[in-house]
Structure 1
Amino acid sequence: MSKIENSSNMTPVLLAHTQIPELLKKLQHFGDQSFQIRSTILFQKQYMCQRFKVWVDDWPDFTTIVIKKELSENLNDIYYIFTLDEKKLKNMLENTDIVEWENALFQAYPYDYHQIIEEITRKRGFGLRCEEDVFRLYKFNETRVNQRSIPEYVTVGALSPEMVDLVIKCKPSPFLGEKSARHLSYLLSTYPSICVFDENGTPIAFEIEYEYGAIGMLFVQPEYRRRGLGKLITTLFLKKCADFSYSPFVIIRDDNEISIQLHIDLGFQKTNIFLFSSMVLKEKA
């Protein structure tokens, strides 16, 4: 455990890896309010990410968490945030050097915090690219996963980094702009994905798991829809999560009625958690 210098009266604490289990235990007391940040931490622990740092405003009686995931020079560092006190969150972001603002991607944070990020980014003279939509979190609420049979005309495997162009073509991501391909390649080489192939080995459906633990980017080729492949892939992901004792969740726009119904049918439950992402642009605003 170490502390970081800053220009305010707050001295954030960098937690040691041995303190993370205690942090997770404390976060459970906040229920759904801390669900996303708990999932992020658990997911990183599961995949033994080394360049993953967790700061709190105080220890052991914390109100605010800032997580930094350091990536390569070609990708933005990723930050995740949680707070019970927005003034302390603002203080921690604004008056310490935890965040490298010109290389920051704030991912899947509660939309209530967006004004704070926007204000600090503007003060520092940087631009901010934001997702066009706010997403609602749905968490899996069943104790067991119903098995689904795999049709004889398909095989199941994983996406590879070489399939980046295919994924972008099917599920374009304007939010990340020119970094979309590099970021997606990183996801596919680091975290789980599931891909369904036809009898000729052509990908016809896929889904990935994001670095903060959400299952998403579900896609089925139009000619193969209404055959249950979407539910099949998500069910396979649920089984994988159950094997790791991990609570699966998805994030969906409120107007995406088809996806909402699919996931409710599988046992997902709507929450009142709304998540948003934004990326600080190196170019001055």
Structure 2
Amino acid sequence: MKVLNKDELQVAEGVLLKRLPKSYKIYGFLYGINRNKPNTLEVVVDKWPDFEVIICRPDPQNKRALEFMKKVSLYSTDEGVLRKVLRQEDAMDWSAYFLVGGFDFSYAPMLKEVSSERQVNNRDYTLCRLLYLPDVSYLNTPAIDSELQSRFSSLSLSDVDLINKTWKFGGNKQGYNNIRNLISNFPSCCIVDVQGQPVAWMLVYDYCAMGLLYTLPEHRQKGYAKVLVSTMAKKLHAEGYPVYCFIEKNNAVSYKLFKDMGFTEDASYRAAWFEFNF
């Protein structure tokens, strides 16, 4: 495996851009890294420059990596090559808990096979649809009156605890650290009440996907989600970010929302998250 340096990461980003939509998650990571967003990753490939496998994994030399859940992301153009890579001793650390996130679900049987060979247990964490906005002209923009517009803001670090408590995958110290990092370094938007407290919000993950969309129960049915998605999509597009998201397979409400807003789906593709050594 080869660890990519700064210049090579720039080249790899360009390669992955041509392989969208299936490469979105790794592309998003590299997009952030190449624009000096803080990260705790190292990026490795099977060969260079014509790589068929690229993996983002925790950097063992980065002390901050311990503050976050141990996550791995991978993308490959060839399942056979990926299987061979994962069987190598230096591809991933199979000795402790980790989460492989956003990989092509068609690789699930192979991942289970390789983990079984290593006597490492595994289980499904979640399965998602990938939706993306090819161009901002596809976006269906809702009307926003001046009163609502005046209540738009960005999230601050004082909001971390609230978001961590309401996030499905949060509620713990690692969730808190993750949200703090996202608010500090990536775009966010929210709608506040008359006291200036967030009642609905959306963030961007460190792999540049839109996420953590949430409205407090007492403020629902007001169209806030549509406004947040539209606002964030325009902001990301204007700043050059990719505009995409993962929607959990059974989340019909969010799926309909993004489809109605003009997002596109590759119906043949599903992104999976698996836990190992849990």
**Same fold at TM > 0.5:** yes
- Other-structure match for 1:198: 193
On the 8 A contact 1:150/1:232 being kept in 2, the answer is no
Matched, 1:109 2:109: no
The question of 1:141 aligning with 2:137 is answered no
Separation of aligned partners in 1, 2:154 and 2:123: 31
Task: Determine if contact 2:209/2:243 at 8 Å carries over to the other structure.
Answer: yes
CA distance in 1, matches of 2:43, 2:200: 36
Conserved in 2, the CA contact under 8 Å of 1:141 and 1:267? no
User: For residues 16 and 200 of structure 2, what CA distance do their matches in structure 1 show?
Assistant: 36
The residue type paired with residue 256 of structure 1 is N
Aligned CA RMSD, in angstroms, stands at 2.8
Which of residues 256, 263, 269 in structure 2 aligns to 1:261? 256
Number of the residue aligned with 2:2: 13
Q: Does 1:54 align with 2:29?
A: no
Query: 2:73 — aligned with what?
Result: 80
CA deviation vs aligned residue, 1:120-145 (integer Å, no higher than 9, x gap): 334434443532x3110010133346
SS in 2 for 1:73: helix
* TM-aligned CA distance change 1:18 to 1:148, over 3 Å: farther
| Partner residue in 1 for 2:272 | 276
2:247 aligned residue (243, 247, 252): 252
* 1:170 equivalent in structure 2: 166
| Contact 1:195/1:206 (8 A) holds in 2 | yes
Query: Which shifted more, 120-129 or 271-280?
Result: 120-129
Provide the TM-score with structure 2 as the length reference: 0.82
Deviations 1:114-166 (A, max 9, x none): 233333334434443532x3110010133346485365266223334443442
**Which consecutive unaligned segments of at least 5 residues does structure 2 have?**
none
The answer on whether the counterparts of 1:158 and 1:194 sit within 8 Å (CA) in structure 2 is yes
The C-alpha deviation readout for 1:150-192, integer Å capped at 9, x for no partner, is 6526622333444344224433227x97743443344334433
Separation of aligned partners in 2, 1:260 and 1:47: 32
Does the 8 Å CA contact 1:52/1:68 hold for their aligned counterparts? Answer: yes
Shift of 1:243: 2.3
- Match of 1:91? 84
User: In 1, distance between residues paired with 2:157 and 2:105?
Assistant: 31
Distance (whole Å) between structure 2 residues aligned to residue 182 and residue 126 of structure 1:
28
Unmatched tracts of structure 1, length 5 or more: 1-11
The letter for the 1-side match of 2:42 is K
What residue number does 1:221 align with? 216
Aligned to 2:24: 35
Cα distance in 1 for partners of 2:239, 2:81 equals 34
Partner of 2:122: 128
2: distance between equivalents of 1:124 and 1:183?
A: 30
Distance 1:50 1:236, change over 3 A: same
2:53 to 55, 61, 64: 64
What residue identity is the alignment partner of 1:270?
E
Match among 113, 117, 122 for residue 119 of structure 1: 113
1:95 is displaced (CA, Å) by: 0.9
Q: Aligned letter for 2:205?
A: Y
Give the C-alpha shift of residue 215 in structure 1. 0.6
Match 2:15 to one of 8, 26, 37: 26
Match runs of 1:148-187 below 5 Å = 149=144, 151-152=146-147, 155-173=151-169, 179-187=174-182
Q: CA deviation at 1:78?
A: 2.5
Identity between Structure 1 and Structure 2 (%): 23
